Amino acid sequence: MRAVNLIPVEQRRRGGARLAGRSGGAAYVVIGLICGLAVMALLYGLADHEIGAKQAEATRLSAEAQQAQSEASRLAPYTSFVSMREERLKATQELANTRFDWAHVMHELGRVLPSEAALTAVTGTVGAATPGASSTTAPAAGASAASKTVTSATPAGSTPTFTVTGCAKSQSAVALTMNRLRLIDGVSEVSLEGSSKTGGGGGSSCPAGYPSFSMTVAFDALPQPTVKTTPVSAAKSASDSTADATTKSGGG
């Protein structure tokens, strides 16, 4: 069976034009175009507003940065001065920390020496004997590359050595002396250079029949300095010390 549309043809056209209107849909296009333009105007406005606001903010931030830089530049000498103080303190600490404790070792030497032996001469040296041969201490970890290195007269890594000569009642006493010298803090090696009984006459400094000995006492190498600098505000400053030299000054 064939379907038949009973609506009159005129009315059918009118119904179809109702959706598109008399303009045939052009009105929708215009409305869409206007809406699109409105959205774009909105986007443009937002961007323009953002530009204005951000530019103002950038100008304000730049001005603040310039002011801060100017103030920091004005105070730069303070920073330089404090840096100079830190460098000198660090250098002084490095030099102080790489020294050999002579007083303690000499005290130990006197303490461990057996009563059967006596010393006639003691010679101790650390590292280079001449200043030209001294080496430079390595910069401490974390030290800035710009910080200056410090040359120590007793550089880290150098080996203190004592040469002791003396007299003993017997060769056993010489052996005992060697054993005792090993008890000194930091001794790495004690070597006997010679021990011989003397006749006691002539230029010998030992009594007749007493062995005259000579030994070399080597110590552990001086350690790397451990430098720990603290800010002046936190640390006791170097001026905290009771400065003998200062208090006993005569002026000038």
Partner 1 sequence: MTGRDRMVVVVLGAVAALVVAFLLVVSPEQKQAAQVQAKVESARTELSTAQTKLSEAQDAEKRYAAAYASIVSLGQAVPADSEVASLVYELDHASSNDKVGFESITSGTTGSGSSTSATASSAATAAAGGFQELPFTFSFTGTYEQLYKLMGRLQGFTVSKPDGSVNVNGRLLSIQGVSLAGGSTASGSSGKLTASVTATAYVLPAGQTLTGGASASAPAGVTTAASASGGSTATPAIVRPLP
- Chain positions 62 to 101 lying near partner 1, rule: CB under 8 A, are 62, 64-66, 68-69, 71-72, 74-82, 84-85, 88-89, 91-93, 95-101
**Residue 181 binds partner 1, judged by CB under 8 A:** no
Question: What per-residue string of b and e applies to 9-29 under the rule 16 or more CB within 10 Å gives b?
Answer: eeeeeeeeeeeeeeeeeeeee
Q: Measured between alpha carbons, how far is 74 from 129 in angstroms, rounded to an integer?
A: 48
Q: In this chain, which stretch among 8-16, 116-124, 168-176, 192-200 interacts with partner 1, using CB under 8 A?
A: 116-124
| Token pair recorded at residue 42 | 């909105």
Nearest approach in angstroms of CB 187 to partner 1 is 16
Q: Pick one of 14, 123, 171, 191: the residue that binds partner 1 (CB under 8 A).
A: 123
Nearest approach in angstroms of CB 89 to partner 1 is 6
**Residue 201 binds partner 1, judged by CB under 8 A:** no
Cβ proximity to partner 1, 4 vs 246, nearer residue: 246
The DSSP element (H or E) to which 212 belongs, if any, is strand 211-219
Query: From residue 202 to residue 241, what is the string marking binding to partner 1 with x (rule CB under 8 A)?
Result: ---x----------------------xxxxxx-xxxxxxx
Q: Where are the alpha helices (DSSP H) in the chain?
A: 9-20, 26-74, 76-97, 102-112, 171-181, 244-247
Query: Is there a contact between 118 and 166 (Cβ–Cβ < 8 Å)?
Result: yes
**Residue 192 binds partner 1, judged by CB under 8 A:** no
Q: What's at 153, amino acid-wise? A: A
CA neighbor of 175 nearest in space, from 141, 209, 225, 211? 211
Cβ proximity to partner 1, 1 vs 251, nearer residue: 251
Nearest approach in angstroms of CB 12 to partner 1 is 16
Query: Is there a contact between 137 and 158 (Cβ–Cβ < 8 Å)?
Result: no
